[in-house]
């Protein structure tokens, strides 16, 4: 039990590493929380600091989820790695190292799925980029990718995966509620690099 608690705490702390804040301050002398949407995730980093910084933050945030999910294997725990992944997602969204103001959980959730079911991750990634190419909305594409993961989990009949991706997709949609309003009002910014 002690090891399980330790892994969950470590997963949360991994998720709490504020990639956007670190990359922004170290390489660009910029606190991205003071610019754009004020969000610490990859999308705001793309918007404020450009493609290189955005890619670096997105990859780092994905890696946080993957590493957190792998902790159960590293510590030889007989629990589903998705559980540790959920704690990483919560850490990313409410990071202890950044005043509990984090990202919207998209990339870190993807990283968890990447560890548990790589093929689903690739499928969801394709859906994300097709949607992004058509709509130019990162927010909408992120939510569609989450819904796609849920549908995929239903099709393959993986109940633990279905429960977790349903939670993560719902959480991602909840975190994008302001974006949904802007999409409806036609004020949501579109990307210009794709």
pLDDT for the residue 37: 84
Burial label for 123, CB within 10 Å (0-12, 13-18, 19+), is: middle
- Cα 45 to its chain centre, rounded Å, is 14
pLDDT for the residue 13: 98
Mean pLDDT by 10 residues, the chain (194 residues): 93 96 94 89 90 94 97 93 96 94 93 96 96 94 96 96 95 93 93 78
Over 62-112, what HEC string results? HHHHHHHHHHHHHCCCCCCHHHHHHHHHHHHHCCHHHCCCCCCCHHHHHHH
Distance CA 21, CA 45 (A): 9
Phi, psi dihedral angles at 75 (to 5 degrees): -95, 5
Tell me if 93 sits within 8 A of 104, measured CB to CB.
yes
pLDDT for the residue 191: 85
């Amino acid at each position: 039990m002690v090891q399980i608690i330790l892994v969950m705490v470590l997963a949360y702390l991994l998720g709490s590493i504020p990639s956007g804040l670190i990359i922004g301050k170290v390489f660009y002398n910029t606190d991205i929380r003071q610019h754009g949407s004020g969000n610490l995730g990859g999308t705001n980093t793309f918007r404020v600091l450009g493609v290189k910084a955005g890619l670096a933050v997105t990859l780092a945030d994905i890696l946080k989820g993957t590493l957190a999910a792998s902790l159960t294997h590293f510590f030889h725990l007989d629990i589903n790695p998705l559980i540790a992944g959920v704690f990483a997602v919560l850490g990313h969204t409410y990071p202890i190292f950044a005043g509990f103001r984090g990202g919207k959980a998209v990339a870190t959730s993807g990283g968890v799925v990447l560890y548990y079911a790589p093929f689903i991750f690739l499928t969801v990634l394709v859906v994300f980029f097709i949607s992004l190419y058509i709509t130019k909305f990162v927010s909408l594409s992120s939510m569609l990718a989450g819904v796609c993961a849920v549908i995929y989990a239903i099709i393959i009949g993986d109940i633990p995966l279905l429960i977790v991706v349903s939670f993560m997709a719902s959480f991602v949609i909840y975190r994008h509620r302001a974006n949904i309003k802007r999409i409806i009002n036609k004020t949501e910014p579109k990307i210009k690099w794709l």
